[in-house]
Amino acid sequence: MAKAKPNKQKGFKTYIKWFWILFGSGVLFMLLIFLLASWGVFGTMPTFEHLENPNTNLATEIISSDNQTLGKFYLDDNRTPVSYDELPQNLVHALVATEDARYYEHSGIDARGTVRAVAFLGTRGGASTISQQLSKLLFTKKPSGGLGRIIQKVKEWVIAIRLERQYTKEEIVQMYLNLYDFNYNADGIRSAARIYFGKEPSELRTEESAVLVGMLKNSSLYNPIRREELVLNRRNTVLAQMAKYDYISEAEKDSLQQLEMDINFNPESHREGLATYFRMYLQRFLNRWIEKNPKPDGEKYNIYLDGLKVYTTVDSRMQQNAEDAVQEHMKRLQAEFFHQNTPDRNPTAPFLDISKGAIDTIMRQAMKRSARWRSMARAGKSVEEIKKSFHEKAEMTVFDWNSDSFEKDTVMTPIDSIRYYKTFLRTAMMSMEPQTGHVKAWVGGVDYKHFQYDNVIQGARQAGSTFKPFVYAAAIDQLRYSPCDSLPDNQYCIEPLKHGNPEAWCPKNSDGKYSGENLTLKKALANSINTITAQLIDKVGPGSVANIAKNMGLTREIPEVPSIALGTPDFNVYEMVGAYGTFANQGVYVKPVMVTRIEDKNGTVLYEYVPETKDVLSKDVAYAMVNLMEGVTQFGSGGRLRHSFAKNQSVYKEIITGYPYELTNPIAGKTGTTQNQSDGWFMGMVPNLVTGVWVGGEDRSIHFSRLAYGQGASMALPIWALYMKMNYENEDLYVSKEAFEEPEEMSINVDCTKVLQEIQEELDTEDDIDDIGF
């Protein structure tokens, strides 16, 4: 029995030896695996290029004049990195508390967490550290099979250790949050904060940070737009973790957990968000710019990947006001248009006063311009096959003013959808600072997602009476007329062949009547008296008017014939606003500018604009024109900006929101209405802001039947009024309420009270003076 003890002792030592042999072999094996992985034996390791140079594959950012992001251009990654200093501490604390409590203690791999995960098979939490999660983001393909997952996990460990050696803890947190995909094009924490909460990361509250950190577990599963309750519970879990590790108190946790999730969803896509039409214009501008301005190595800039910063003149607050004004008025105006264009009231709706053959031609042309026609033609389909497809019903989402999202799902044929979209009135609006040419707001239509034609700069329509100020300007400039000078309101004809006109031209006033009175130029322009405008263009000649208009930025063809006096040429809102800016800027034309500076991802300035200006009118002529157009808003067609018109009040209540507007500050402007009410214009000016608005149908045959509804004062002016009232409510915008600056040496009389006094002395009757007016 005594000899058995050495055998037991020997056997125990053998077990111990083999234990250490196996343990050591396991350690050596793991070290070998890690070494082989680092050498790339198990496949190429992802590089740190995306981390070492995080400014690769970056979205181009569009920045407003008030330093807000208007939008971005990107392909796959809507990413704009932020520095660690721009991250709120509550976000970092939520991240560490939830994802890696010992983050500041380990060197890439949490040994305790790993042992716990293995011992409990992951039921008590995983073992991935923040460094490991960052390394995982470097793998673009998911592993296939169990072995593949094991190999990738080993690679993640290797990369995590390398990350910890190469970067600080703060840099790793920064890179992880900048790289993570939060869904809905929310690539990185900055996009996520903007898309889900409408703010910058630094502005996130604790409960908002908790939502985003909760999404890190699985952003598709924890989707705050589709799974609100699940995300709310996950957010509260994050808040509990923050309390557990003393980042917030228990009282704070309890209070925050009671709050509802205040998701402010702002999707950032090319068809949604603020200033969509302007951003699409900007895309074309940048594409032209990069063709002429290559990189130092000769390669072209890529607006979707190179992380350019484009600084624009648009003010996000004024842009929002403009879009709100358009939406508020157009929704109401459209409702009235629908009311007047029911099949009972108008069998050819939405077209008016044209034949069936003309309507068929419009519809055929619209079919051939459609994306469906182009795509089927490229696919080799015959014309008959394409036409047939337009008459087959299909599910589609269409625009709808009455829906909260302005969309509705329906079933209709493509040809019916074309007719449906033609029923909607279109609009355009641009606002500019005349002294600098800086465009402050740009609205090209009612909804870019469904109406992508930009009526600010792509569209051109007859200017109507908004062209008359160029005729008056030529007369004042060349003949030294005064706003107080008068001409008779009688039928006036320009003889055949005079001014190149092939036949006699005898324009009528809009109401077909002639007062026979002598009207001051101020009263004549205020009430758009055609006979007075005809006399003026006859005196100065169409060539002089066309020359002044071109010098003021109207680049489209202007025929040198007398009829241009009534606004027969086509112009777009962009050109008209620039031209009117000349009047407000004391006769100096400044070309509208939208981009002030372009920088590359490193902040190097690549482009800075140089103002384009031209002296067109003398200061006194420009001021006389402003004085003339002030009459439009004092007692002319724009007078409803200040007071109501009882005889038409019922009409205005139906279609005009906020009327009467009761604006009291000095305003110069001009309304415009074209034949059959096809186009409604209003050009409005205060000393430091010129704004133009156009409203009309896609086709000229789509219009109101009555002038009361279809004139510029009813269709376009209300948008200007609502926009300006919103601007004035925000004193930080500094939109002027002051009078226009009068030149020190004013050689043209603009004080028409003197004229009235002289007339009073001659007539010596108050009644006769009232009949003359101004």
- pLDDT tens profile 411-442: 999 999 999 999 999 999 999 999 999 999 99
Amino acid identity of 344? D
Contact of 526 with 631, CB cutoff 8 Å: yes
List the structure tokens of 359. 């309507």
Q: In this predicted structure, what is the pLDDT of residue 290?
A: 92
Give 532's pLDDT tier (boundaries 50, 70, 90). Answer: very high
Burial class of residue 676 in the structure, from the number of CB atoms within 10 Å of its CB (0-12 exposed, 13-18 middle, 19+ buried) = middle
CA angle 728, 730, 736 (to 5 degrees): 40
Give 122's pLDDT tier (boundaries 50, 70, 90). Answer: very low
Least confident of 101-110, 589-598, 690-699: 101-110
pLDDT above 70: residue 126: no
pLDDT above 50: residue 221: yes
433 vs 115, residue with greater confidence: 433
Q: In this predicted structure, what is the pLDDT of residue 8?
A: 60
Burial class of residue 728 in the structure, from the number of CB atoms within 10 Å of its CB (0-12 exposed, 13-18 middle, 19+ buried) = middle
User: 469: part of which helix (H) or strand (E)?
Assistant: helix 468-479
Contact of 426 with 451, CB cutoff 8 Å: yes
Instruction: Choose the most confident range, by mean pLDDT, from 192-196, 314-318, 386-390.
Output: 314-318
Least confident of 141-145, 183-187, 222-226, 474-478: 141-145
Q: In this predicted structure, what is the pLDDT of residue 593?
A: 97
User: pLDDT of 698-724, one tens digit each?
Assistant: 999 999 998 889 999 999 999 999 999
Q: In this predicted structure, what is the pLDDT of residue 1?
A: 47
Rounded to the nearest integer, the mean pLDDT of the chain is 85
pLDDT cut 70: percent of the chain above it: 83
State the average pLDDT over residues 172-192: 88
List the structure tokens of 319. 């842009």
Contact of 449 with 456, CB cutoff 8 Å: no
State the average pLDDT over residues 117-145: 61
Q: In this predicted structure, what is the pLDDT of residue 39?
A: 46
pLDDT above 50: residue 768: no
Q: In this predicted structure, what is the pLDDT of residue 46?
A: 56
pTM for the full predicted model: 0.81
SS3 letters across 615-671: ECCCHHHHHHHHHHHHHHHHHCCCHHHCCCCHHHHHHHHHHCCCCCCCCCCCCEEEE
DSSP characters over 37-96: HHHTTTSPPPPSHHHHSTTSSBPEEEE-TTS-EEEEE-SS-------GGGS-HHHHHHHH
User: pLDDT of 435-453, one tens digit each?
Assistant: 999 999 999 999 999 999 9
Give 18's pLDDT tier (boundaries 50, 70, 90). Answer: low
R_g of the chain, CA atoms, integer Å: 35
pLDDT above 50: residue 646: no
Q: In this predicted structure, what is the pLDDT of residue 120?
A: 42
Q: In this predicted structure, what is the pLDDT of residue 119?
A: 44
State the average pLDDT over residues 655-671: 83
pLDDT above 70: residue 146: no
Give 78's pLDDT tier (boundaries 50, 70, 90). Answer: confident
The length of the chain in residues reads: 774
pLDDT above 90: residue 559: yes
End-to-end CA distance of the chain: 136
Give 774's pLDDT tier (boundaries 50, 70, 90). Answer: very low
pLDDT above 60: residue 634: yes
- Residues 521 and 88: their CA atoms lie apart, in Å, by 63
Least confident of 71-80, 285-294, 630-639: 71-80
Least confident of 141-155, 259-273, 591-605, 650-664: 141-155
- Residues 337 and 424: their CA atoms lie apart, in Å, by 8
22 vs 531, residue with greater confidence: 531
pLDDT above 80: residue 477: yes
Q: In this predicted structure, what is the pLDDT of residue 144?
A: 53
Q: In this predicted structure, what is the pLDDT of residue 773?
A: 31
